Amino acid sequence: MPASPEEGGGEVIFCEILIYNEDDPKNSFAKSDTVLRFVQYKNFKGPFLPGYRTVKDATPLDYGITKIDHIVGNVYNMNKIISDLKKWTGMHTFAHFTKEEIQTPWTSLNSEVLSNNDSRVLFPINESAEGKAESQILEYLKAYNGPGVQHLALKSNNIFNTIRSMNATSFSGFEFIPTPDTYYEDPVIIKRMTENLEPSEIAAVKELGILIDLDADGILLQIFTKPLFDRPTVFVEIIQRKCQGVTIEIPGCGGFGKGNFKALFESIERLQALRGGLIPTDGGRPAC
């Protein structure tokens, strides 16, 4: 894509890969148009891409979001997609969750997280695992009509300020999944909060319904929105990672939220049940 002389010349080169390239044997119309785009700038001095111009926002809105932390995909066959992505990008396995680790009495999933060499780019991939009911992954694949992005994780340097700002803005379009009070009564969660957060931060975590996880390097704070549209498909995660007490930009610090992953899975399943989408695999009535 060449730039005009007014943009300073140069060009931008694209290469796109169909990232979730697989078929549903039960639905020939289920396809994914999601692409992974590689962008190369060659002496391009304009804003973003050729044809774009810089515009000053008359009413700027800032929630404190700094970057994308990770992007999660829901697919039919995780192993195929993982194999393709490793071949195309050279990424490696950063974390792996099995159906025994992420399950409820009704459903379960398998998940694998891919990372680039410095852990600044993370691509988790989910697939449904066998259970008593159709999982939230299968519900997504039906509603989305094929594989696609389940959620975008957006990084904040102060998750408390970010969530309060989003809650205070009526037109933001975000509604967060509520966290049950019993989550904060778990001895493991109490220990994490007590050892890693100030009393004011613990109060804010409980007030806002934020989840907390950790690894040897630091802690992970996160919260999830309900689906953004009228179908149970794409939603957003707000995340903050603190290593040794300092918020940093590297996504890997604080782990990948195994405990929080299960809490999220359970939260989405509760919403799924309320929609009547938790359909038993034996053809019985939906769970509620």
Task: Please say whether the structural domain 65-275 has been given the CATH code 3.30.1300.10.
Answer: no
Separation between Cα atoms, residue 178 and residue 274, nearest integer Å: 14
pLDDT digit string, tens, across residues 227-244: 998 899 999 999 998 876
How many residues would you count in the chain? Answer: 288
pLDDT digit string, tens, across residues 106-157: 888 899 999 988 878 889 999 998 888 788 898 899 999 999 999 999 999 9
* 91, 121, 102, 264: CA torsion to nearest 10: -160
Give the HSE-up count for residue 102: Cα atoms under 13 Å, Cβ half-sphere.
28
Separation between Cα atoms, residue 241 and residue 159, nearest integer Å: 9
- Give the start-to-end residue ranges of the domains of the chain: 65-275
CB neighbourhood size of 107 (10 A): 28
Write down the pTM of the prediction: 0.85
pLDDT digit string, tens, across residues 51-101: 888 888 888 888 999 999 889 999 999 999 999 999 999 999 988 888 888
* 227, 231, 233, 239: CA torsion to nearest 10: 0
SS3 130: coil
